[in-house]
Amino acid sequence: MKFYLLIKSLIMIAAIFWAFRLFFIKVKRLYAIMMAVEGKVEFSPFDRLKERLKVLFTDVLGQSNVRRKTLPGLSHTLIFFGFIAIQLHSLELMIRGVFPSFDLLLFMPWIYSKYLFLADIFAFFVLIGFGYAVYRRTVIKPPYLTMGRDANLIILFTSVIIISFHFINAFQSFIPVVVAGEGSESVTSLIYQNIFPVSGILAYILAFKNWSLGWLIFGYEISYYIHICTILGFLVYIPGSKHLHLLAAAPNVFFKRLEVEKAVQKTDIENEDASSFGLGKVSEFNWCNVLNLYACTECGRCEELCPASNTGKPLSPKKIIHDFKADLFDQSDALLTMADLPEPSKNRDSILPIIREGSEITHDVIWSCTTCRSCEDVCPVSNEHLDFIFEIRKNRVLMEADFPPEMQETFTNLENQSNPWGFSSDARADWCRGMGVPLMMDKPDAKVLYFVGCAGSFDDRGKKISQATARILQKAGVDFAILGPEESCNGDMARRAGNEYLAQMLIQQNVEILNQYKPSMILTGCPHCYNIIKNEYPQFGAKFKVLHHTEYILELIKQGRLVSNGKDFGTITFHDSCYLGRWNNIYTAPRDILKEINGGSLLSLNQNLSKGNSQTAMIKSYSNQSDSRLIEMDRSFSKSMCCGAGGARMFMEETIGQRINNLRAKEAVNTGASMVCASCPFCITMLNDGIMETDRKIIVKDIAEIVDEGTV
Amino acid sequence: MKIFVCVKHVPDSAATIVVKDKNQIDERITFLLNPYDEYAVTEAVKLKKLLDNQAEVIAVSLGTADAEKTLRSAMAMGADRGILITTEDRQDSIITARALKAAIEQDCNIEVKDDLYQYGDLSLIFTGRESIDMVGMQTMFRIGAYFNIPVINNVVKFTPFIEDGRLSKAEVESLAGEGRKNIYEISCPCVLGAGRGLNTPSYPTFPDVVKARKKDVKIVPLDDLIKNLIINSIKYLISDSKFDNPQKEQKNGAEIINLELFAEQRTPKRIDGEPLEAAKEIVRILKQKAKVI
């Protein structure tokens, strides 16, 4: 027996050393890759540590993001906590393999027995979690879920770990432990007998009570080897598989961007030493990007919601992350070699471009994205897919002039006339001719600067919306003025289409004008103007209070400056535009306006919408009101589906798959509402076009038009 | 080898043109590279590549100092350097062609020996098929005449013949209206006026835009050029007494007395009826009236 224990401890020392050594080599390499990439991180991942720790508690320990999908979330939570629970026990077993007499239960019987009791239950929960996972993978088979050897192997591995854990405990219950003394005088006792609730039942079923001690020890030893070997194997396997997730998810969440609002990275285009702009090669990732790639476990929630994936486009946010990761690992040798060399001898050409012959990430993949951000919103590990897309588009446009050919005219129009259609820029104020809308140059101290935007100034449909907005402002007695010909395109479209140079030119023009007038508030009618002026102009030295017309109209209603005339608009469904909702978290303002204007009363506005309410509660409170004539679409609030126009897609042909706007329009029609309301001129155009293709031609209106018609 | 592209700084057709002082355009609007010249620049850069980059593409323009922007655009699209002949006034095609010719001649050291031009480095001259502001369609023919070389305008296809790395001749297709196409074999050097469809003008990459900012633009005042011009090719131009005094020339040349806005008359025709019939009618109109198919 002693000889066996000696052999066992030698084997264990060797195995543990070997496994941990391999594990550390792999992890070290992953860390080296993270440090080798050269991209800059726009935000500061190390600030506000208190908030970050809180995020760790809610997102990781609280599993708040995973649980947004109820059953898979629950299943993940069970597995997560089960595995955490057995860690201490596994550690003890490893030590005991080397030092056979090591036993924590002897050191601290009370607390350790309580721990084992809980761990035994939690471990069993893991099996329940796996049961659901297997059911999901074999019966439900959601199309967005990656079904691969990798995933199946991991379920097998971990099930073996848990089952062997229970067997170890079951055998242990009937093996006496030396509790005192040495050699022949030692006293033994079945101290483990009544500790394990689940394993106890297993032991009872298999009638271990009747087994001889020899067989019990034999069974224990077999279970032990299976258990420890699987754990060690797992340890070695993790860093090379998609289950790198286990290591990277927590740090990824910890270092995430804390605000919902974000900006496209500002590229220093004046830097004459820069050899490349945007993301062209894996070496141009930043370390947060790399951590994003490590953290993804291909759960597919992003793909499930992606408007491109849903309409047969070649883009899947899940796959693009996978493909970036594959390319990063394929080129990691060259990357690490390059990183080790001092600056003058770094050979960046040794790293191949991401988009190359035979590459999975193609032109069509990167240009299919509408930048709707539902992938980022839903990602349980807070990955930021758009950071990749924006930067790779930037690289294609600036370095290769590679973009959908129809965009060339749009770029030229923006360059020459500061609007995507190429209308004469001096006709910018023509939409309000005869309405008595003053220009900022005539009224430089106006309190509100109404930034009309290109659609509101030039597009026939958009003009009606800005006219309605101007009338509302006049009704409410707002002291406002517009820029007119001094206004340029906000730069959103050029920026999201990767033309950073053009975007910065347009932004600069606006920034100079805005800084000249220094308005106390900027009002926009378009979520794209709103988002970029609010969140991206500060990068260029223009910080102003910016409100979208939904927010401002609600404020005017609350102040009593706009009063409903009681007009009945019938049932309305509201389409959340991406740049208002997911990009800026504005969901309730438009709904509150619709309630007030369409026969409601402001006093009945949801009292329970105080801070801290979860979005689920918010959605419930809106859809459960029996008197409400506001009908929600299947996908609304943060799950709202894009109209298809974002990310400059408005000006690109949609030739692959089904048209996104048709799908969304169908959804709106299916609510049975008599009108669909949006708050973005581009959404309005897209929905209008989409509804033409359906058999029920419902009306599409901007919220400003409804308010204009529905107020005194 | 040198390939020249004559480019013009023109008002953006999208801009609202305002007439100032009866005969001038209010120049506060956007000016840009004449769209047809974009085809010319693109084709010149393509030709340079076919010549294994053993040629230089030079953009030449006559205009105000502001026209340097247009030269920079041409250089962002691939021209190697620029020559800007500066003038304060809008010049007619006679002066323009002479000035362009003089600038090209100077740059290439073109000589006249025994009454014959020695073209030196000159390989080819591209222009746009017309400028969108004056729509004169004369400059390219005048340049050709002054150099005594052939001219083809509205070129939609250009196939160069390159022997021993030199451009000897080319096959050129030009559009002659009513859907008719002429195919020529032309000796080089020659003047080609680029038409729509010759190529797809490339959008410059950002590094090209940055490089273009640093490329060389030689600025030659029109007056100086005319003085040199008389010395260099005196035999061919001396008879033109106008050139003795550039100031006098401007008075005697074409003078714009009055500018009026031209509002294009559009009379859309509505075709009613069944889709099949309507389609037939469209085909008939395209065939018989527009004569484009």
Min Cα distance B201 → chain A (Å) is 10
d(CA B82, CA B60): 6
In a domain, B12, yes or no: yes
Q: What pLDDT digit, counting tens, does each position of A123-151 carry?
A: 999 999 999 999 999 899 899 988 878 88
pLDDT of residue B216: 96
> Could you tell me the end-to-end alpha-carbon distance of chain B, in angstroms, rounded to an integer?
40
User: Does A366 score more than 80 pLDDT?
Assistant: yes
State how beta strands B56-63 and B81-86 pair.
Answer: parallel
Q: Which of residues 200-239 of B touch A (CB under 8 A)?
A: 200, 202-207, 209-210
Q: Which residues of B touch A422 (CB under 8 A)?
A: 14
- Please identify among residues 369-408 of chain A the ones whose CB lies closer than 8 Å to any CB of chain B: 397-401, 403, 405, 408
- Inter-chain CB proximity B32 and A269 less than 8 Å: no
User: What burial class does residue A606 get, using C-beta atoms within 10 Å of its C-beta: 0-12 exposed, 13-18 middle, 19+ buried?
Assistant: middle
CA distance A79 to A136: 15
> Can you list the positions of beta strands (E) in A511-646?
521-524, 546-548, 572-574, 630-631
DSSP designation for A637:
G
Q: Does B17 touch chain A (CB under 8 A)?
A: no
pLDDT band at A428 (very low <50, low <70, confident <90, very high): very high
Strands B31-33 and B9-11: antiparallel
Question: Could you tell me if B139 and B6 are in contact, meaning their C-beta atoms sit under 8 angstroms apart?
Answer: yes
- Cβ separation A501–B32 shorter than 8 A: no
Dihedral sign from CA coordinates of B61, B64, B69, B72: positive
Cα–chain-centroid distance for residue A271? 31
Query: Does residue B80 lie within any of the structural domains?
Result: yes
Across the interface, do B15 and A408 touch by the CB < 8 Å criterion?
Answer: no
Task: Closest CB to B14: pick one of A277, A423, A501.
Answer: A423
Residue A148: predicted pLDDT: 79
For residue range A329-362, what is the model confidence (pLDDT) as tens digits? 999 999 999 999 888 888 888 999 999 999 999 9
Looking up tokens 């106890």 gives A200
Total of domains in chain B: 1
Q: Coil, helix or strand for A620? A: helix
Cβ-based contacts of B200 with chain A (< 8 Å)? 405
Flag whether B91 is in a domain: yes
Q: Are A543 and A500 in contact (CB under 8 A)?
A: no
Whether the CB of A63 is below 8 Å from some CB of chain B: the reply is no
Instruction: Answer for the pair B78, B48: CB distance below 8 angstroms, yes or no.
Output: yes
Contact B205 A399 (CB under 8 A): yes
pLDDT at B232 exceeding the cut of 70 = no
Rounded-to-integer distance, Cα A526 and Cα A432, Å: 17
User: Residue B263 domain-assigned?
Assistant: no
d(CA A406, CA B164): 39
What length does chain B have?
293
Q: What is the DSSP string of A366-398?
A: HHS-----HHHHH-TT---HHHHHHHHHHHHHH
Chain B contact for A509 (CB, 8 A cutoff) = no
Residue B282 lies in a domain: no
Cβ A427–B16 below 8 Å, yes or no?
yes
Q: Per residue in A500-551, pLDDT tens?
A: 999 999 999 999 999 999 999 999 999 999 999 999 999 999 999 999 999 9
CA distance A508 to A661: 33
A96 CB-near residues (< 8 Å, 6+ apart): A102, A103
Q: Which SS3 state, helix, strand or coil, does residue B112 take?
A: strand
Q: Is A424 on the interface with B (CB under 8 A)?
A: yes
In whole angstroms, what is the distance from residue A172 CA to residue A194 CA? 11
The per-residue pLDDT for A611 is 43
φ and ψ of B106, to 5 deg: -60, -45
- Selected residue of B32, B70, B203 to mutate for chain A interface (largest A Cβ count, 10 A): B203
What Å distances lie between residue A109 and A94, A105, A186, CA to CA?
19, 5, 19
pLDDT given for residue A433 in this prediction: 94
Is A405 in contact with B200 (Cβ distance < 8 A)? yes
For residue B272, the model assigns a pLDDT of: 84
Q: Is the pLDDT of residue A599 over 80?
A: no
In a domain, B65, yes or no: yes
Amino acid at A512: E
pLDDT computed for residue B235 by the predictor: 37
Give me the helix-helix angle, A527-535 and A500-517, nearest 10°: 80
What the block records as the tokens of A271 is 């830097």
Strand partners, A73: none
**pTM, whole model, 2 decimals?**
0.90
Q: Report yes or no: A430 at the B interface, CB cutoff 8 Å.
A: no
C-alpha B35/C-alpha B196 separation (Å) is 9
Pick the residue of A395, A415, A424 with the most B CBs within 10 A to test the interface with B by mutation.
A424
Is B134 or A88 the better-scoring residue by pLDDT?
Answer: A88
The whole-angstrom distance between B212's CA and the closest CA on chain A is 13
> What CATH number is given to the structural domain containing B12?
3.40.50.620
User: Can you tell me the distance from the alpha carbon of A465 to that of A526, in angstroms, rounded to the nearest whole number?
Assistant: 10
| Residue B234 binned pLDDT confidence (cut-offs 50, 70, 90) | very low
pLDDT attached to residue A704: 97
pLDDT category at A600 given cuts 50, 70, 90 is: low
Residue B35 at interface with chain A, using a CB cutoff of 8 Å: no
A329/chain B closest Cα distance in angstroms: 29
- Is residue A583 a contact partner of residue A692, using CB atoms and an 8 Å limit? no
Distance of residue B42 Cα from the nearest chain A Cα, in angstroms = 14
Cβ separation A425–B15 shorter than 8 A:
yes
Shortest CA distance to A563 belongs to which of A601, A525, A589, A591? Answer: A601
List CB contacts (< 8 A) between B29 and chain A. Answer: 426
Number of helices (H), then strands (E), belonging to chain A: the values are 29, 10
Report yes or no: B104 and B110 within 8 Å, Cβ to Cβ. yes
Token duo for residue A572? 């309305």
Place of tokens 């347009």: A506
| A413 contact residues in B (CB cutoff 8 A) | 14
**Chain B interface includes A422 (CB < 8 A):** yes
Q: What is the DSSP letter of B45?
A: H
pLDDT digits (tens, 9 = 90+) for B12-59: 988 888 888 887 888 788 899 999 999 999 999 999 999 999 999 999
Longest dimension (CA), chain A: 109
| Mean pLDDT for the stretch of residues A28-56 | 93
- Look up the ipTM and state it: 0.84
Alpha carbons A526 and A380: distance in angstroms, whole number: 30
Q: What is the sign of the dihedral through the CA atoms of A402, A407, A413 and A418?
A: negative
Q: In angstroms, rounded to a whole number, what is the distance separating the alpha carbons of residues A575 and A669? A: 11
In a domain, B238, yes or no: yes
Q: In chain B, which residues have their Cβ closer than 8 Å to the Cβ of A417? A: 12, 14-15, 30
Q: How far apart are CA B9 and CA A709, in angstroms?
A: 48
Hey, what are A686's tokens? 């897209």
* pLDDT tens profile A189-231: 888 888 899 999 999 999 888 889 899 999 999 999 999 999 9
In this structure, what token pair is assigned to residue A589? 């303002």
Is B111 strand, coil or helix? Answer: strand
Sign of CA dihedral B83, B86, B90, B95: negative
Q: Give the residue, B207 or B238, on which the prediction is more confident.
A: B207
**For chain A, what is the mean pLDDT?**
91
Percent of chain A with pLDDT over 90: 76
Q: Chain A within 8 Å of B262 (Cβ-Cβ)?
A: no
Contact B14 A424 (CB under 8 A): yes
Which residues in chain A are closer than 8 Å to B77, comparing Cβ atoms? none
Q: Is residue B194 situated within a structural domain? A: yes
Answer whether B206 sits within 8 Å of A425, measured CB to CB.
no
Q: Which residue of B has its CA nearest to A407?
A: B203
Range of the domain at B113: 2-252
In the predicted model, is pLDDT for residue B248 greater than 80? no
Q: Which residues in chain A are contacts of B210 at CB distance < 8 A? A: 272
For residue A379, count other CB atoms closer than 10 A to its CB: 23
Residue range A636-675, pLDDT digits in tens: 999 999 999 999 999 999 999 999 999 999 999 999 999 9
